[in-house]
Amino acid sequence: MSVLVVLCQVIVLSVLFFSEVCLAGKKIPANFVFGDSLVDAGNNNYLATLSKANYVPNGIDFGSPTGRFTNGRTIVDIVYQALGSDELTPPYLAPTTSGSLILNGVNYASGGSGILNSTGKLFGERINVDAQLDNFATTRQDIISWIGESEAAKLFRSAIFSVTTGSNDLINNYFTPVISTLQRKVVAPEVFVDTMISKFRLQLTRLYQLGARKIVVINIGPIGCIPFERESDPAAGNNCLAEPNEVAQMYNLKLKTLVEELNKNLQGSRFVYGDVFRIVDDIIQNYSSYGFESEKIPCCSLVGKVGGLIPCGPPSKVCMDRSKYVFWDPYHPTEAANIIIARRGGGGHGGGAGEDLAVVQEVRTTVEVPGEDLAVVRRWRCWGRFGGGGWDLAVVQEEVLVEDLAVVQEVEEAMVVVRWWCRWWSWRGFGGGAGGGGGHGGGAGGGFGGGAGGGGGHGGRF
């Protein structure tokens, strides 16, 4: 029995969330990461800023702090390892991020950063999106000097670009406690959101002009539910704060429209809208069904009603079992939550296959999968059990021939990879029927929980 020869690529983020299939043995596409603390891999270690995570107990599951704002891996880390990478994408500011290493990708994300250059100024130094793009432009020139302009263009066309930003523009700008009170009286939420979208349009267009073609754009999560926001309004009780979530959704709706616009107007572009809000909100509202015991109190906490007033640091108390908490600190998910977000981004129990049609269509046009592996897919019953809900190795062991277990074990915790492979086969017609609609806007039916629907434009959705 042959081993799995297809890996389905899903990036996120923070959440995050697109797919590309590669034949085993081919080089993993370069990974370029932009964003805030949800995906910062350590750039802020080198800045004069209050927004740092290079001290204990952050990184406890790495054995030591790395600069990541969580106990272990971010969503970007999880997915890139699922693709088969032995290394994590290095931070731009690290002295070792140089030479041929940059050909595999670079992480430019910075904690406290945002779309607007005014965002996060209370922290001190941070690298906002404009500056992150400047840094990528420098990397681009370095790559051209290494492999030449033609090969560099090929690298960028096949590379994965993800942008996870916008949360700080609300949390640490428009909704900054006390300081932003006057701003909110003068500037309506709609006006502020429009300012963000106008700026982000320019930034994403510039990224395209610098050679990016496959770009995942992650929306803002339910920020009204993070421990910090819950702490800021005791009157909310056990509920999430309504206004921050409403403004986040206002932004998300306009962002989705922007993604559709860019796909239409920028020739050869492949923008994908990552709906983190939907996924994280479901985790919070149904936390116990995911195996969590706390969706309000962070694992690493110090003071406050829910422990959300002070960032995670040496004086903080750390929970005994990090896998039982949705939040690591007042702002960021635990690695356990990140794994679930990545899995949900790959199909999970949210929505029908039609939502992801644009993603699988690109896969279909670029990759041929050896036919003998279809038998493995059929034995996994992709279009039934695995499409509608969660699955684990124990379930697979009951239904898969023994000689196929190595295939499953190869992907280990990155079960999202198999989900996307199954989704692709279902779209090809092996998993039930194909829905109506033509071109890139058609729907895919059959497998995956009976979902059917229409995808819009070239932009997929997670």
Contact criterion met (CB below 8 Å) for 198 and 204: no
- List the one residue out of 277, 318, 276 whose CA is nearest residue 298: 318
**CATH T-level assignment (fold) for domain 6-345:** Rossmann fold (3.40.50)
Question: Known catalytic residue: 349?
Answer: no
Structure confidence at residue 378 (pLDDT): 41
- Count of residues for the chain? 462
**Residue 153 DSSP class:** H
CA R_g for the chain: 21
CB-count burial class (<10 Å; 0-12, 13-18, 19+) for 56: middle
Bridge pairing between strands 160-164 and 214-218? parallel
The single residue of 14, 19, 37, 316 carrying the catalytic annotation is: 37
Cα 310 to Cα 334: distance, rounded to the nearest angstrom: 17
Cα 382 to Cα 306: distance, rounded to the nearest angstrom: 41
Cα 193 to Cα 273: distance, rounded to the nearest angstrom: 17
Structure confidence at residue 284 (pLDDT): 98
CB-count burial class (<10 Å; 0-12, 13-18, 19+) for 149: exposed
Q: How far, CA to CA in Å, does 374 sit from each of 379, 397, 436? A: 9, 18, 24
End-to-end CA distance of the chain: give it in Å, rounded. 32
- Cα dihedral 398, 352, 76, 210 sign: positive
- List the one residue out of 37, 291, 308 whose CA is nearest residue 164: 37
Structure confidence at residue 57 (pLDDT): 98
Structure confidence at residue 345 (pLDDT): 72
Contact criterion met (CB below 8 Å) for 238 and 224: no
Cα 115 to Cα 169: distance, rounded to the nearest angstrom: 7
**Three-class DSSP category at 429:** helix
CA atoms lying within 13 Å on the CB side of residue 73: 21
DSSP string, 201-222: HHHHHHHHHTT--EEEEE----
Cα 429 to Cα 212: distance, rounded to the nearest angstrom: 31
Contact criterion met (CB below 8 Å) for 451 and 353: yes
The single residue of 77, 113, 167, 332 carrying the catalytic annotation is: 332
Amino acid making up residue 175 = F
Structure confidence at residue 234 (pLDDT): 79
Q: Which residues contact 459 (CB under 8 A, 6 or more apart)?
A: 256, 259, 260, 263, 271, 272, 273, 358
The single residue of 169, 281, 329, 356 carrying the catalytic annotation is: 329
- List the one residue out of 18, 12, 163, 13 whose CA is nearest residue 459: 18
Domain boundaries, the chain: 6-345, 353-450
Structure confidence at residue 346 (pLDDT): 54
Structure confidence at residue 211 (pLDDT): 98
pTM over 0.85: no
With a cut of 70, which residues of the chain have pLDDT below it? Answer: 1-26, 346-462
E strand residue ranges, 31-108: 31-35
Question: What are the φ/ψ torsions at residue 456 (nearest 5 degrees)?
Answer: -100, 130
Cα 308 to Cα 180: distance, rounded to the nearest angstrom: 19
Bridge pairing between strands 300-301 and 317-318? antiparallel
Q: Which residues contact 40 (CB under 8 A, 6 or more apart)?
A: 53, 67, 68, 69, 74, 91, 107, 109, 110, 111
Token pair for 440:
């890139």
> In percent, how much of the chain has pLDDT > 90?
61
Residue 393's region, left for phi above 0, alpha for psi from -120 to 50, else beta, is: alpha
